[in-house]
A = this chain, B = another copy of it.
Amino acid sequence: MSEGDKALRVAVLGCGSVGSQVVRLLTEQSADLAARAGARLELAGVAVRRLDAKREVEVPEHLLTTDAMDLVTRDDVDLVVEVIGGIEPARGLILAALENGASVVSANKALLAEDGATLFEAADKSARDLYYEAAVAGAIPILRPLRESLTGDKVTRVLGIVNGTTNFILDKMHTSGAGFAEALEEAQELGYAEADPTADVEGFDAAAKAAILASLAFHTRVTAGDVHREGIAEVSAADVASAREMRSVVKLLAICELRDGAVSARVHPAMIPDTHPLASVREAYNAVFVESEAAGQLMFYGPGAGGAPTASAVLGDLVTAARNLLSGSRGAGESAYAALDVLPMGETVTRYHVGIDVQDRAGVLATVAAAFAEHGVSIQTVRQEGRGDDAQLVVVSHRATDAQLSATVEHLRNMDIVREVTSVMRVEGEND
């Protein structure tokens, strides 16, 4: 067999937004892909749920099947791309593919974040690759840089805007002053949010990605269940306006930190200063900001979703997996040697921005300050605005544990002179 005749056979599971673009690129770029992989990448079959659905790509009829399990266990399949999504049947199919000696590329953040360990174990057992660059931040190469480029360095923190829907909504609120409901509606009209926006808006999608990022950055196992999660449904136009006044923006962040040898992984809205590189990430774009001891501050920016961008990431993995198969080698598998504890949210160290409606009378500032002090929280700045009978205080704290800060807020809510705690938001991205 001459060099030019070498071929590897690829099964694609799922032919929706991502799968159809994977199939398209496999066909349209086949000559370049062959030159880069060292062998032709031939489409062995495409598994779908409905044979007769309309697709964005033409798939030869004889390649379509509804029996995905049959496809991945065929003798002539070398590489499997899983772009079905969800836990089952995706997990069973990936395990069967690995057992059958295929290397696997997946875009499935939900599965990787819930049960990556089972998949990595199966990949190790079969000495095959399991790549999943597309699972976090779509087209942006972030997992490979974390796993390979920064592997000689010590990553200390990852801050990510990893959900395009919520970034679009928050950006709208910031630029137009709209409230959450209005911005969500616009996002839905434009196709940036789904009819049921729960997975995005409540932070489930971002939490899965935070788990994957934390695992790779700190060489440990973090699952979606380990990630503290707060969505953006409670973010008000007033919060966003208040951030603006502080020359900040509100972003939904996936935050992964090393702290005293333990990991903090969390997703919540936070204010970040306008000068932070993440602040200028607009619309549905994603970006991941990485801090490490030697490299310092890095940022990776690009489209976080969409069929073609996500397919780009899938194909990058596919070519690497193909090269490894041809040379009889494997890429770096799971690296979880550090086995770190996950910090409960209460022990996480953050800063709070608190808006308080208080009675406008002498000594009110001192009383409020005393409440912060009682919980061991020191105050960085207070801004006071009198408004007739009431006054509005805006307090930004120094760093303290989340438990201390939430106890302080609870305390404020029970004080006579406090009419209402109007806004509570964490502050990130500043040196302290």
Contacts and interface: CB of A to CB of B under 8 A. Distances in A.
Interface of A: 21, 25, 29, 32-33, 35-36, 133, 139-141, 144-145, 148-154, 219, 277, 280, 292-303, 306, 308-309, 311-320, 323-324, 327-330, 332, 335, 337-338
Contact of A330 (B309, B315, B327): B327
A139 B295 contact: yes
A420 to B, nearest CB: 37
A219 B29 contact: no
Given A154-B32, A311-B294, A301 B277 contact: yes
B294 A302 contact: no
17 contacts: A25-B152, A29-B154, A36-B152, A139-B295, A141-B298, A144-B145, A148-B319, A151-B320, A280-B280, A292-B312, A295-B309, A295-B312, A298-B301, A298-B303, A300-B301, A301-B301, A324-B329
A141 B149 contact: yes
Contacts of A150: 141, 312, 316
Given A141-B144, A141-B298, A299-B301, 4 more contacts: A145-B145, A152-B317, A277-B301, A295-B302
A302 B311 contact: no
A332 B337 contact: no
Contacts of A292: 312
Contacts of A154: 29, 32
B309 A303 contact: no
Q: 8 shortest A-B CB distances, which residue pairs? A: A152-B315, A329-B329, A141-B149, A139-B295, A294-B312, A298-B302, A295-B312, A141-B145
A140 B338 CA distance: 25
A153 B297 contact: no
A105 B328 CA distance: 23
Contact of A152 (B280, B295, B314): B314
A328 B328 CA distance: 9
Contacts of A328: 329
B332 A35 contact: no
A317 B153 CA distance: 11
Contacts of A219: 32, 35-36
Contacts of A35: 219, 335, 337-338
A178 to B, nearest CB: 21
Contacts of A323: 332
Contact of A149 (B25, B277, B316): B316
A319 B146 CA distance: 13
A21 B337 contact: no
Contact of A153 (B140, B300, B315, B337): B315
Given A141-B149, A144-B144, A145-B141, A335 B36 contact: yes
